């Protein structure tokens, strides 16, 4: 059912100008766990970098 819903949702997309960005986030840095505040800050930084380019 999910596969069918995804196909229905994407059938009208114009794929001529599409691109994708995949993000991965480390779960630990310097033996410290990453929390949601740090994750949010990292995402904001990444989006700001994209806006500047």
What residues form DSSP beta bridges with 32?
29
> For residues 32 and 38, is the Cβ–Cβ distance under 8 A?
no
Q: What is the mean pLDDT of the chain?
A: 83
Q: What pLDDT, on the 0 to 100 scale, is given for residue 13?
A: 79
Reported as a single tens digit per residue, the pLDDT across 13-37 is 777 877 777 778 788 888 888 888 9
Q: Return left, alpha or beta for 31; rule: phi > 0 is left, psi -120 to 50 is alpha, else beta.
A: left
Give the chain's end-to-end CA distance (angstroms, integer). 39
Q: What pLDDT, on the 0 to 100 scale, is given for residue 29?
A: 82
Q: What pLDDT, on the 0 to 100 scale, is given for residue 15?
A: 76
What residues form DSSP beta bridges with 33?
28
**HSE of 43, CA atoms in CB hemisphere, 13 A:** 12
Q: What pLDDT, on the 0 to 100 scale, is given for residue 11?
A: 83
């Amino acid at each position: 059912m999910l596969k069918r819903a995804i196909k229905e949702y994407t059938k009208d997309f114009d794929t001529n100008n599409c691109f994708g960005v995949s993000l991965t986030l480390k779960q630990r840095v310097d033996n410290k766990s990453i929390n949601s505040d740090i994750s949010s800050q990292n995402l904001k930084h990444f989006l700001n970098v994209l806006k500047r380019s």
